[in-house]
Structure 1
Amino acid sequence: MSSLIKDLKITIKSCKLVQPLETHERRSMFLSNIDQVLNFNVERVHFFDANLDFNIECVADKLEFAFRTLLSSYDFMAGRLNFNTLEKRLEIDCNAAGAVFVVAESELTMAEIGDLEYPNPAFAQLVVKIECMETEDKPLCAIQVTWFKCGAIAIGTTNNHTTMDGVSFKVFLESLASLVSGKPLAFTPISDRRVFEARSPPRVEFTHPELTQILKDHHQTDQTLIDSTSSDLEFKLYQLSQKDINNLKGKARNQGKEGPWITTFNVVTALVWICKALATTSKDKTNEISTILYAVDLRSRLQPPLPNSYTGNAVLTAYAKATYDQLENEPFGFIVELLHQGVARLTEEYARSVIDWGELHKGYPKGDIFVSSWLKLGTMEVEFPWGRPKYNGPVVHPNKDIILLTPQMKGKKKEGGVNVILALPPHDIPHFETLFHKLLLI
């Protein structure tokens, strides 16, 4: 999109470290083997329409106070990552060093920045770039509130993924909104990660072809699930309406077996897996295998189940494998069922085996494609005193291996649909789009 606004004309009004309102005794926080491989930052932007009852000073003051109050319960979010050389693993030093709070203004109106759903690289100006901060120890959490000329606001949040997953972040956001409204925490966080501690001795009871070992002479801090390097890529946004999704479900039923696995996530993921794999491989590799990875929440799979107030990473990466020939020639329903089998595989026993494998091998999931779904997080339903977000979503950075699924904005004719966000080398886009539209039509 050549008409994208590339400069949001942001002025930083204030930037400071904020400490928890109440501090606790300093401690080291154990991080599970699931947490260990997620040492990268997650950036999100929440856009709100103007509310005449709230000016920038009011919003900033209320947010800062609520944030500091929240950090009293989430003390690890004000801590720092530390590599324990004796244990050879990451941990969080809960030292109350602080989180970042920024107030900024834009010379533009929110309408002038264009389509909020499109992954505009300029949205990176609405979040704090923690990794770029000129400090020896990097904060684990940051909030930036940006005021647009029209009175609309954007709240940009950044957190290191070792601190929490998407479900935990939604609970964090609900508590922040509750405190801003003068109410108590929505949930009291449960932050003991030892529920996912490896067994002693570790027992790897399954094969794990989705996992790869960390190279020798590398710390676990050097290699993670997300490779941030990328070549020249072009962002694309594909919008699937509810009708498109229903057609894909119908195709899966007609070309496979009826079953509970014919879900929105599975049919959309099958679509993008087929198109991405076939658009980026050569004809002489048809018998080679493509591996797709996607996150599965473990909370309901444990006995007893974990409550939603569990604060940490309670997700593991499921996988499915198929040859390029299968992706091209097998019925659509067959590919959808492969994705379901990947989820069904993730029993508590399998999850414990993955955690124990990590204890022995210090590795991480590796595949050709990683699908990250924001469809059920529900963060657009979180109510602040100035309203619910008009839209929120991740700040997207170019990566050829990651595909994002986000819900569409409320109030659109396509409400209930799915946004597919990806980055591709420009020469692969025509083939991808041909396959994409062909599968939607057949």
Structure 2
Amino acid sequence: MGSFPQTLPKDLKITFKSTSLVHPPPLTLERRRSMFLSNIDQLFNFDMETVHFFSAVESFPPSTVCDAIKRALQQLLVPYDFLAGRLRTDPVKGRLEVDCNGAGAGFVVASSEMTLEEVGDLTYPHPAFKNLVPTRSLKGLEDWPLMAIQVTSFKCGGFAVGISNNHATFDGTTFKTFLDNLASLATSSEGTLSVHPCNDRDLLSARSPPRVTFPHPELTNSTDSILGASINGTPIETKLFHLTASDITLLKQKANSPHEAGPAPTSFNAVTAHVWRCHAAATAAKTSTLLYMVDLRSRLRLHLPKSYAGCAVWGAYATATRDELVEGQFDRVVESVREGKERVTEEYVRSVVDALEMGKGGALMSGDLLVTSWWRLGLETVGYPWGSPLYCCPIVDRRRGIAVFVPEIRGSDGGSGGSGGMNIFISLSAGDEAELFEKMFYEFLKS
């Protein structure tokens, strides 16, 4: 697969019906609070947008779904009180925090003149999907909330639930937990939370005094990082590639070194190494730095519960020359990915948090390629009363050097996401870079 198919409609013909704020039950002075944001939370101060598609269900027309989601969201604004709050800067400390003031979460109701079938292949990161998620331009939401949900009905009775939330509120793991809780409360007003969130962000606060005990080359002060919009004005092109379960197994087999004894390669490490290798082949850089997100909950066992609701992720890194990646042994590339993850120990994370506290190394993550995986978050398995999503994916941000792994689309029989395959979105400079990446993606897979 290559770029977006030309047959996809440019306009989803959406009409916005209502925009409102959902407030938690009336606050008391005792319940209003200021919530500390960790240094990692602060680094993720940007909107995260996802869209979740659902087939038509006769007993759950979109109007019923809207009522259920709105009711469940209001209930969730008690345990997740920060979602109804607003970001502000502490006047004394000069750092961001959340004023849990009950200002409300956004709720938008919309409709499309199209059917889901007319929308086309949902697996493509269609630019028009942006219209299925609440945006800051919506009238009635000028005081932009930390979370907003949009329910868009289609002519066929199917619908999409688009969610925009500030990434400082959740990482992917916690977002999945939030959706499980939303589904539980949408099922019944007497529903219970699947997991009670731990909202204590102080668990990832800096040490006193802070101690930077590792170098942190993944941090920079330069805005010329992996999030650049283009190179010398070259437009960005987003491509989609599909790997079947057999393709992933093949990559893992290629990664098995006959010379070294060690842990068997994981699917994530093998696929990440493959994408890194292709990216290095397609770009002119003599060296390449890979970044990929690692969940910290299992790495800070004495301090961070699994229910921790903040951003408990960090970018592991690996660096290699272009020749090592393109001409070297594939098993060694996979090993470099594994070593990057192993570097993220408890002490390393504490050092990162302290480096951010002291301003050492910078306040941006830097590299040539960022891999973020939604592949096994399980968003497609959330059990809403109207069924699990037909498909769900992040809204693709066309910034050069970002690759996103997501599960393949669910089968028409309603089974879970196919047979274990993966879709990969990657944004590259249009022209030679994008074309060479596509060429090498298949050549390396076959070689």
- Pairwise same-fold verdict (TM > 0.5): yes
Q: Distance in 1 between matches of 2:339 and 2:41?
A: 24
> Structure 1 stretch 306-315 or stretch 37-46: which is displaced more?
306-315
Matching residue's letter, 1:23 = L
Confirm or deny that 1:72 pairs with 2:78.
yes
> What is aligned with 1:218?
none
How far apart are residue 10 of structure 1 and its match? 0.7
Q: Distance in 2 between matches of 1:66 and 1:353?
A: 39
> What is aligned with 1:411?
411
Say which SS state the counterpart of residue 130 (structure 2) adopts.
Answer: helix
Q: Indicate how the Cα distance of structure 1 residues 256 and 69 shifts in structure 2: closer, same or farther if over 3 A, else same.
A: farther
Q: Distance in 1 between matches of 2:291 and 2:32?
A: 37
Q: Distance in 2 between matches of 1:226 and 1:191?
A: 30
Q: Do 1:257 and 1:333's aligned partners in 2 also have CA atoms closer than 8 Å? A: no
Confirm or deny that 1:437 pairs with 2:442.
yes
Cα deviation digits, residues 94-153 of structure 1 (max 9, x gap): 111111101111111111111111100010111001376676642110100111111111
Matching residue's letter, 2:144 = K
> What is aligned with 2:317?
319
- For structure 2, the 5+ residue unaligned runs are none
> What is aligned with 2:333?
335
Within a 5 Å distance, the mapping from 1:33-48 to structure 2 comes to 33-48=39-54
> What is aligned with 2:187?
181
Equivalent of residue 252 in structure 1, options 247, 255, 259: 255
Q: Indicate how the Cα distance of structure 1 residues 238 and 142 shifts in structure 2: closer, same or farther if over 3 A, else same.
A: same
With the length of structure 2 as denominator, give the TM-score of the two structures. 0.92
How far apart are residue 307 of structure 1 and its match? 3.1
With the length of structure 1 as denominator, give the TM-score of the two structures. 0.93
Cα deviation digits, residues 270-323 of structure 1 (max 9, x gap): 111111122021xxx5xx321110000010111326333211111111000001
Q: Indicate how the Cα distance of structure 1 residues 265 and 430 shifts in structure 2: closer, same or farther if over 3 A, else same.
A: same
Cα deviation digits, residues 208-257 of structure 1 (max 9, x gap): 111113x6xxxxxxx79873744522221100011111111111114763
> What is aligned with 1:387?
387
Q: Indicate how the Cα distance of structure 1 residues 389 and 396 shifts in structure 2: closer, same or farther if over 3 A, else same.
A: same
Equivalent of residue 96 in structure 2, options 76, 90, 97: 90
Say which SS state the counterpart of residue 73 (structure 1) adopts.
Answer: coil
> What is aligned with 1:354?
352
Q: Distance in 2 between matches of 1:228 and 1:19?
A: 37
> What is aligned with 2:161?
155
> What is aligned with 1:166?
172
How far apart are residue 406 of structure 1 and its match? 0.6
Equivalent of residue 302 in structure 1, options 300, 303, 307: 300
Matching residue's letter, 2:200 = D
Q: Do 1:38 and 1:224's aligned partners in 2 also have CA atoms closer than 8 Å? A: no
Q: Do 1:241 and 1:416's aligned partners in 2 also have CA atoms closer than 8 Å? A: yes
Q: Distance in 1 between matches of 2:224 and 2:18?
A: 33
Q: Indicate how the Cα distance of structure 1 residues 315 and 92 shifts in structure 2: closer, same or farther if over 3 A, else same.
A: same
Matching residue's letter, 2:220 = T
How far apart are residue 268 of structure 1 and its match? 0.8
Give the percent of matched residue pairs that are identical in Structure 1 and Structure 2. 48
Say which SS state the counterpart of residue 169 (structure 1) adopts.
Answer: helix
Q: Indicate how the Cα distance of structure 1 residues 271 and 255 shifts in structure 2: closer, same or farther if over 3 A, else same.
A: farther
Equivalent of residue 192 in structure 1, options 192, 200, 206: 200
Q: Distance in 1 between matches of 2:151 and 2:224?
A: 29
CA RMSD for the aligned pairs?
Answer: 2.0
> Structure 1 stretch 223-232 or stretch 94-103: which is displaced more?
223-232
Say which SS state the counterpart of residue 68 (structure 2) adopts.
Answer: helix
